[in-house]
Amino acid sequence: MAGNTFGEIFRLTTFGESHGSAMGGVVDGMPAGIWVDTARVQEALDRRKPGQGALTTARKESDTVEFLSGFHPQADAQGRRQTLGTPIGFVIRNTDAHSKDYDALANTYRPSHADYTYEAKYGLRDHRGGGRSSARETVCRVVGGALAQALLPADLHIHAFVQRMAGVGIPEAAQFDVAKAFLHPTGCPHPETAEKMEAALLALKDAGDTAGGVIRCHVAGVPAGWGEPVFDKLHARLGYALLGINAAKGVEFGSGFAGSDSTGSQQNDAFTGVGQTATNHSGGIQGGISNGMPLEFSVAFKPIASIRQAQQTVTREGDSTTLEITGRHDPAVLPRALPIVEAMTALVLADFYLAQRHQLNA
């Protein structure tokens, strides 16, 4: 049951395999006495879970989290429980794994998957669903992120939404509410664009193909002063976390790469008050430290590599072969990745929140 740890102060360790009996993890660094609504944790998992419609994999998992430690046994009238300050252990059991779907892949490298690289690193691999490289691992991150959000200030809100998918994007001048991404199965909060995205994605799915796209994230309520000026810049730590998500290929903050074609007079965010600027081309971060404006960043995701089309590849012995992948796969990662982006953002912000609280109280 291999594991990896993320975070320095607020730490999440995950373990398990996608086609094993369970996924699980441990959250350490949560202070004692924090009231946690565990139902909210489950709500976040429900947004990520598979089998929710035509735009997701047919795999059916309840993704029910079981907490094993770290909470006082008595809940309050709202069903909340207090943290004890000890590590919070949890498990999510796998109930619908079809390991036999992957038998034909035991000796074959799937194009653009981690099959070959894992074998190059470890000398062997679990071919069932990709093992630790499977997106199933992110279920643990969603739990950790939901716990982190319980620690963060109540007026800090993280909202991710699908900005672009399957070649369809929200128009630049469009008006929409970032908090309403959950209202459409695409995760796009702009109704007209969402319908076009869905049609384009379903067409690709019918053709046995997949799509990539861009998730935009808006974080309101981050005070000025979070982040470090050199190696632990706020955007550097966020970039590290977000690029650790399966299929993530790029991250940009504020105006991002588009700003490189601009000028200083166009890009500079003029101050209109303390912690307030007329524009937010910086994405809420300057010098690696939050400036009081909303954090704004985008994450680009590649198309899912499992496609239902014939592909050229090789076996472990190097023999050329043709591969046709079957089984249950998403046509795009983006709709189910929204709570994952929010979770990784919350984990980073929890670290900086605790670090800043320690600095102010020192």
To which residue do tokens 């014939």 refer? 310
For residue 2, pLDDT over 60 is answered with: no
Task: Find the helix or strand (DSSP H, E) in which 350 lies.
Answer: helix 334-361
pLDDT tens for each residue of 315-353: 888 889 888 877 667 889 999 999 999 999 999 999 999
Mean pLDDT of 58-62: 74
Q: Is the pLDDT of residue 294 over 70?
A: yes
- Contact between 301 and 244 under an 8 Å Cβ cutoff? The reply is no
Amino acid 17: pLDDT: 77
Q: Is 257 exposed, middle or buried (0-12, 13-18, 19+ CB in 10 A)?
A: exposed
- What is the pLDDT at residue 103? 73
Q: Count structural domains, the chain.
A: 1
Q: What is the pLDDT of residue 16?
A: 84
pLDDT at 214: 98
Whole-model pTM: value is 0.93
pLDDT value at 58 more than 70: no
Asked if residues 147 and 41 have their Cβ atoms less than 8 Å apart, the reply is yes
pLDDT tens-digit profile of 145-156? 999 999 999 999
Q: Hey, how many other C-beta atoms are within 10 angstroms of the C-beta on 62?
A: 14
- In contact, 220 and 179? CB cutoff 8 Å: no
Query: What is the CATH number for 116?
Result: 3.60.150.10
CA distance 142 to 170: 26
| H/E element, 203 | helix 191-206
d(Cα 84, Cα 256) in Å, to the nearest integer?
41
Residue 362 has pLDDT above 70, yes or no: no
Whether residue 314 is predicted with pLDDT greater than 80 in this model: the reply is yes
Are the beta carbons of 161 and 188 closer than 8 angstroms? yes
Measured between alpha carbons, how far is 353 from 235 in angstroms, rounded to an integer?
14
DSSP string, 120-141: HHHS----STTGGGSGGGHHHH
* Among 346, 359, 356, CA closest to 7: 346
Per-range mean pLDDT, top range of 88-92, 111-115, 133-137: 88-92
For every residue of 280-336, DSSP letters joined together read -TTTTEETTEE-SSPEEEEEEEPPPS--SS-EEEEBTT--EEEE---S---S-SHHH
Question: Distance between CA 186 and CA 334 in Å, rounded?
Answer: 8
| 70/274 Cα distance (integer angstroms) | 40
- The first and second tokens of residue 180, run together, are 């309403």
pLDDT for the residue numbered 1: 45
DSSP-assigned beta bridge partners for residue 254: none
How far apart (Å, rounded) are the C-alpha atoms in residues 187 and 189?
6
pLDDT > 90? residue 218: yes
Q: In terms of residue numbers, what domain contains 192? A: 3-361
